[in-house]
Structure 1
Amino acid sequence: MAPPTTGTGRHFLQIPGPTNVPDRVLRAMDFPTMDHRGPQFSEVGSKSLEGMRSIFKTKGQVVIYPASGTGAWEAAMVNTLSPGDRVLMYETGHFATLWKKLAENLGLKPEFIEGDWRHGADPQAIEDHLRKDTGGEIKAVCVVHNETSTGCVTQIPEIRAAIDSAGHGALLLVDTISSLASLDYRHDEWGVDVTVSGSQKGLMLPPGLSFNAISEKAVKASKSAGLTKAYWSWEEMKGPNETGYFPYTPATNLLYGLVEAVEMLHEEGLDNVFARHQRHGEAARAAVKGWGLEVLCAEPRHYSGVLTAVMMPSGVSADNFRKVALENFNISFGNGLSKIADKVFRIGHLGDFNDLMLMGTLCGVEMGLEKAGVPHQSGGAQAAMDYLAGRAGTAATRAA
């Protein structure tokens, strides 16, 4: 029996975030910390803010916080809403549920449309709910673009159309924490009022930065919003940001990395970045089919290019499989969360990622399935390789 290989080679971090940080970003962050009040910092701050406008595809205000994505959730709400406001949310998975809990903790009144964790948000259900709110008491609709716990994508233009069709004035708040810079996203064009995101996924940075992209309608709402805020205040950010500074100490070295990461994304071209992620998602799903297993996302229109959540056969522990894969092959997969704990594992294929990294990942899955005794068919990795090599017909034949 071959010994475990965890002591040699590079660890495969294949969770859906934090993602692998490219060497160029690590080197950019490796510079000495500068005076965040000095003249040189203005260029760093300005490049960071303008760069993020290009990634969100907005001409409006973007705010950068030293925080996790949870902070950006809170900032989006406390700047636009008042105590007791009703907000409409959709249960796409674990993170949509956590956002709802945060809303409750802030003193808001979320109305949660039940979902099955296998689809994105249903625009018709949202439209129907809003039509019943004839008094306009619902102040915001909050949805997760790419639900990281399930690998299901909500079609944001359809949600915007549903709100408009209902003739409702609610703000549209969207979480892009695991989709920004990986999946196509257009803040201005899609009529989003606040877009929430974080640094540790498609932006290829360590955790520590979070973002709000803000529409004019959201800015107007912030003038009368009654929830208490200080650290999260957009208004406090606006003046200093205009010259590239921040009202408090920013995460200076992460901003160095952010400037480099945005440059890398534009060098590749955002459309190429999005196509690469979709291609890797297709290849991963070909592998899952080849193993005779099932993808958690049940609707092809909602498939994610960011991650693939794989359902285990009934009675088989996903966590044991993950443990065996880590101990024997030095590879980490995402765990199932809350309702799907121990029932699925999640393969991250986002950020600084290429075909060979995907094939190493999928070979790790296949070896792990075998080592853990998970009932499956062999050949899933080969099906993905056939797809990536342009032999789609061969991949389909093998999977069948």
Structure 2
Amino acid sequence: MTQFVSGRHFLHTPGPTNLPERVQRAMDRNAINHRGPEFGALGREVIQKLRPVFGTDGIIGIFPASGTGAWEAALVNTLREGDRVLISRTGQFSHLWEQMATRFGLDVMALETDWRRGADPLAIGKVLEDDREHRIKAVFVVHSETSTSCMSDVGAVREAMDRAKHPALLMVDAISSLGCCDYRHDAWKVDVTIAGSQKGLMVPPGLSFTAISEKAMAAARAGGSRRSYWDWEPLATANKTGFFPYTPAINLLWALREALDIMAEEGLPAVYARHARYAEATRRAVAAWGLELQCLDPHAYGPGVTAIRVPDGHSADRLRAVILEQFNMSLGNGLGRVEDKVFRIGHMGDLGVLSLMGALTGVEMGLRAAGIPHKAGGVQAALAFLSQAG
């Protein structure tokens, strides 16, 4: 028999994130006919409300899937076996995207990093300049690398591609950035942007999104790989009718509509400023503790998650276990190359200032309980910043 723990669980993983009560209530209703007029209106409405979040007037596709499904759709619609793609290894999720590309028989060129900074636009531009035969068909960029909390400058990558006069498609993983910071699919001339519902959008896992440029859709219509479920063509029709070519996740779409309404009520600039403020408060706590951020580039700090290194000889996983057992709080674990070396504080989605302060208090108590060398005062440093920042 599981022992009862009083008080609410503090969920501070970088996805899934906490759900607003309004979003939970929006799902609490019976299903409707997904071929009827009420659903068609719902489908059209959520697509329209997603547009300012993606920064696009183009096609936005919705799949009942995780973000991994949107990754696969991006590959099979636009690329064929043997096509060359370029990716920067900025963390575990770029690594997984690279693995998927390899399984599909793509010729992957990887730019290595130390997982402590974002993609290097100049390095990407140099590779493209040297590719005079234009063998590279796509450039993959993870906007916010959830495993390291490092951001890549997508606008600068596009500028590098334009300087090189290279026709490759630009594909961006915005899974842990969308809804947390300003994103500009059209202005940055991104061809494919993928995202998921369970992070900044404050919806349960189960929806993936794909914003598709005219150039990317033309590439899909001209070729790509064999596909059926992941085919983009029906998504163009769905943008007009609101109906899906498969059984949609009806209740999740109600949740999404409510979450987008909440974001619109707060105002997207205010949503993004709140994420930036909480991220800065978290980093100030880390500095006061005397711990080290995984991200070394201040220009690349992520808005929705902070990855923190534990001192050599100590276990980040044990720290997380102590915090969960003693203080009923979940934190993100280290992935891939940084497994057991970092823990991650998620500060995205439905989060208030007192919730953030509770999370930082739990971490400081956990550091002490787990015997991790640190200085006191991280919570006070965050408090001082948040108090003066308003």
Cα drift, residue 268 of structure 1: 0.6
Contact 2:145 2:151 in 1 (8 A): yes
Of 149-158 and 229-238, more deviation after overlay is shown by 229-238
Please name the residue that 2:47 is paired with: 49
Contact 2:79 2:224 in 1 (8 A): yes
Deviations 1:289-328 (A, max 9, x none): 0101011100000011111100101110000000000000
Tell me the amino acid that sits aligned with residue 141 of structure 2: V
Please name the residue that 2:172 is paired with: 174
Please name the residue that 2:313 is paired with: 315
Please name the residue that 1:100 is paired with: 98
Tell me the amino acid that sits aligned with residue 150 of structure 1: T
Give 1:333-352 correspondences, 5 Å limit.
333-352=331-350
Q: SS at the partner of 1:40?
A: helix
Please name the residue that 2:162 is paired with: 164
Q: Distance in 2 between matches of 1:84 and 1:295?
A: 38
Q: SS at the partner of 2:175?
A: coil
Q: Distance in 1 between matches of 2:4 and 2:66?
A: 30
Please name the residue that 1:395 is paired with: none
Cα drift, residue 239 of structure 1: 2.3
Please name the residue that 1:396 is paired with: none
Please name the residue that 1:329 is paired with: 327
Deviations 1:1-35 (A, max 9, x none): xxxx9711100010100000110000001111101
Please name the residue that 2:276 is paired with: 278
Tell me the amino acid that sits aligned with residue 333 of structure 2: N
Q: SS at the partner of 2:222?
A: coil
Q: Distance in 2 between matches of 1:134 and 1:205?
A: 44
Q: Distance in 1 between matches of 2:41 and 2:292?
A: 49
Contact 1:293 1:313 in 2 (8 A): yes
Q: List 4+ stretches of structure 1 deviating above 4 A.
A: none
Relative to structure 1, the CA distance from residue 379 to residue 240 in structure 2 (aligned partners, 3 Å threshold; closer, same or farther) is: closer
Q: Does 1:356 align with 2:354?
A: yes
Q: SS at the partner of 1:386?
A: helix
Please name the residue that 1:216 is paired with: 214
Deviations 1:352-393 (A, max 9, x none): 01111110000000000000011000000100000000179x
Give 1:69-84 correspondences, 5 Å limit.
69-84=67-82
Tell me the amino acid that sits aligned with residue 341 of structure 1: E
Q: Distance in 2 between matches of 1:308 and 1:108?
A: 32
Please name the residue that 1:138 is paired with: 136
Contact 2:53 2:179 in 1 (8 A): yes
Q: Distance in 2 between matches of 1:237 and 1:300?
A: 38
Tell me the amino acid that sits aligned with residue 328 of structure 1: Q
Taking structure 1 as the reference length, what is the TM-score of the superposition? Answer: 0.95
Identity %, equivalent residues: 55
Contact 2:310 2:316 in 1 (8 A): yes
Please name the residue that 1:9 is paired with: 7
Of 295-304 and 240-249, more deviation after overlay is shown by 240-249
Please name the residue that 2:380 is paired with: 382
Contact 1:6 1:329 in 2 (8 A): no
Q: Distance in 1 between matches of 2:246 and 2:239?
A: 11
Give the number of equivalent residue pairs: 388
Q: Does 1:247 align with 2:245?
A: yes
Tell me the amino acid that sits aligned with residue 197 of structure 2: S
Give 1:253-272 correspondences, 5 Å limit.
253-272=251-270
Tell me the amino acid that sits aligned with residue 131 of structure 1: E
Deviations 1:188-222 (A, max 9, x none): 01110000000000000000000100111111111
Contact 2:181 2:275 in 1 (8 A): yes
Cα drift, residue 236 of structure 1: 2.4
Tell me the amino acid that sits aligned with residue 110 of structure 1: V
Q: SS at the partner of 2:140?
A: strand
Q: Distance in 2 between matches of 1:6 and 1:131?
A: 61
Tell me the amino acid that sits aligned with residue 364 of structure 1: G
Contact 1:21 1:205 in 2 (8 A): yes
Relative to structure 1, the CA distance from residue 315 to residue 6 in structure 2 (aligned partners, 3 Å threshold; closer, same or farther) is: farther
Relative to structure 1, the CA distance from residue 124 to residue 208 in structure 2 (aligned partners, 3 Å threshold; closer, same or farther) is: same
Q: Distance in 1 between matches of 2:351 and 2:268?
A: 14
Tell me the amino acid that sits aligned with residue 175 of structure 2: I
Deviations 1:222-280 (A, max 9, x none): 11223111001111232244211001100000000011111111111111111100000
Q: SS at the partner of 1:79?
A: helix
Contact 2:59 2:239 in 1 (8 A): no
Contact 1:79 1:234 in 2 (8 A): yes
Taking structure 2 as the reference length, what is the TM-score of the superposition? Answer: 0.98
Tell me the amino acid that sits aligned with residue 70 of structure 2: A
Q: Distance in 2 between matches of 1:6 and 1:107?
A: 50
Contact 1:6 1:328 in 2 (8 A): no
Of 244-253 and 229-238, more deviation after overlay is shown by 229-238
